Amino acid sequence: MNNKHIIILLLGFIICSCSTEATWTDKDIEITITPKVVSAGYVECDFSTNHESYYLIAIQHVDKNNPTDVDPFTQPKQFMMLALDSANLKYMEWRNHLLKKGEFNIAPFASHSLQYGSIKHFFTGLIFDEKYWIYAFAVNPETLQPISKLYIKEIQTTEEGIVDVHFEYRIKGVWDYIYPVDSNGNILQYFPYIATTRDSAELTKEEDFESIENMILEWTYDQFRYPAYAEVYYGVHATENTDFSEQSYLGFESGHTYYTAICGFDGIFEKMTLYKFKWYGEDTEYYFVDTDSTNVLNLYK
């Protein structure tokens, strides 16, 4: 047997002797949870580990009237297993949906549902003036078992939103664009809001409201009264307003007057902005500046 064959055999022995399980059995993984912004409806939080590892992050409402069945402080292992089961069920629902649509290039659970390395995460849709647990723990991506202790940080959301948000609105051709920005003009990528555009020709058919303005405001308020039915947007949102678009239920028509209502949701319903404009086709571009007033319209004449 020559030296070349000996080297190949030795390499094969080394590879076979290495256990992939050993990569994910470090019990000393430490996870740092650092809430950066705590507002009424969302939390911006940084996560980091003492070395690279997969880990699960989540937030849980601490309901005094309906305490959790499993206490994370006295039953941490059971709490982590239940959290993993919940995440896996959501993953399987997502995977099943894509398979039914004929999509087979689906991300595995680890890359879809777990974090890796240092990240920034935004938890949204929270209740104002309530306590929450932000938690994290390392996970073996092959066995889906916890491999670190449970790390928990308790926070309390504020009574009122602390984010200074303004909504800018632009129309170009059949497209409209919404820009949630702060006082410095920086786009807020993770601030939740809803928006809707209605044709005044349709709104005038309604007889239960004193004015179209009141009606569109009331219609938008209803979106947050029943949040399960509202479509929430984040960051810059673009809509193609044509009859053939899946994004919009209306198509812009030349000479028609439209109303667009935008409203942020930071734990409470606030920052309503209402715009009114006439649409004149592809050659028209409008720019509106937010007034931060519920009852003031920015009018295009």
Q: Are 241 and 175 in contact (CB under 8 A)?
A: yes
Domains of the chain: 23-156 (2.60.40), 166-299 (2.60.40)
- Answer yes or no: is pLDDT of 165 > 50: yes
Nearest of 190, 172, 171 to residue 180 by alpha carbon = 190
Per-residue pLDDT tens digits for 24-42: 566 689 999 999 989 888 8
CA dihedral defined by 230, 233, 237, 238, rounded to 10 degrees? -30
Q: Are 55 and 115 in contact (CB under 8 A)?
A: yes
Per-residue pLDDT tens digits for 52-96: 899 999 999 998 777 777 899 999 999 999 999 999 999 999 999
Nearest of 127, 65, 58, 49 to residue 88 by alpha carbon = 58
Q: Looking at the whole model, is its pTM more than 0.85?
A: no
- Answer yes or no: is pLDDT of 245 > 80: no
**Nearest-angstrom CA–CA distance, 271 and 180:** 11
- Answer yes or no: is pLDDT of 47 > 80: yes
